[in-house]
Chain A
Amino acid sequence: AQKITQTQPGMFVQEKEAVTLDCTYDTSDPSYGLFWYKQPSSGEMIFLIYQGSYDQQNATEGRYSLNFQKARKSANLVISASQLGDSAMYFCAMREGEGYGQNFVFGPGTRLSVLP
């Protein structure tokens, strides 16, 4: 079974608009962390934001925020005021428990295109 599901293979957004990228996850471990990474065409994975399973508030980092709905097992990334440089692949990832090795998994990604 897929541990991380990203149902949107591709998304388009107008520059300066907000966009939500979906991520659902599957785990029975009560301790886990959720991550979002950006991968531009250059190939390097860039860490964006982190949400721990015990965190009471949704994580925010500048224009990025994570809409964490624990009961629904969803961790959607919201990008506000999109910029052309936001065009990239976006990956949701999950750490279970100590979270190295087999217990750090990535979803298939969503390609975001920001239109001028």
Chain B
Amino acid sequence: DTGVSQNPRHKITKRGQNVTFRCDPISEHNRLYWYRQTLGQGPEFLTYFQNEAQLEKSRLLSDRFSAERPKGSFSTLEIQRTEQGDSAMYLCASSLGLGPAYEQYFGPGTRLTVT
């Protein structure tokens, strides 16, 4: 399967702990996105990479959140000192960035529960 993969699929953590999620995009895709989705809402943009460069971060993104894409392939999203409000589905998507549609292919998501 050559789709976008995310690990872990589920993560339960205690408030105050750090967590890290991984995303492996489709291999030839140079653009990678992270979104957060809470129950009953659409995905909300967090950050975006073109190759290894992080080009944009959400204005709403706390400094407890950091993301990397060190070699322009997989990406990690770390949340430090987790809070209960961080409980959500974290979605990763990738795209080629070519053509007008800029279709994004999504992974299955990582569901985070902060207790």
Contacts and interface: CB of A to CB of B under 8 A. Distances in A.
A45 B43 contact: yes
Interface residues on B, range: 20 to 34
7 contacts: A37-B106, A44-B107, A45-B104, A52-B100, A101-B33, A102-B59, A106-B44
Contacts of A35: 101, 103
Q: Identify whether the interface residues of A are mostly helix, strand, loop, or mixed.
A: strand
A94 B26 CA distance: 22
Interface string A83-97: 000000001010100
Contact of A33 (B47, B93, B101, B111): B101
Contact of A101 (B42, B56, B103, B109): B56
Contacts of A93: 42
A42 interface: yes
A102 B108 contact: no
B77 interface: no
B108 A44 contact: yes
B45 interface: yes
Contact of A100 (B44, B56, B108, B111): B56
B89 interface: yes
Given A50-B101, A100-B56, 18 more contacts: A43-B109, A46-B106, A47-B103, A50-B100, A52-B101, A91-B42, A91-B43, A93-B42, A99-B102, A101-B33, A101-B47, A101-B55, A102-B45, A102-B56, A102-B59, A104-B45, A106-B44, A109-B40
A105 B47 CA distance: 13
A102 to B, nearest CB: 6
A47 B104 contact: yes
Interface of A: 4, 33, 35, 37, 42-47, 50, 52, 91, 93, 95, 99-102, 104-109
B105 A100 contact: no
B106 A108 contact: no
A69 B71 CA distance: 43
Interface in B1-60: 31, 33, 40-45, 47-48, 50, 55-56, 58-59
A47 B4 CA distance: 13
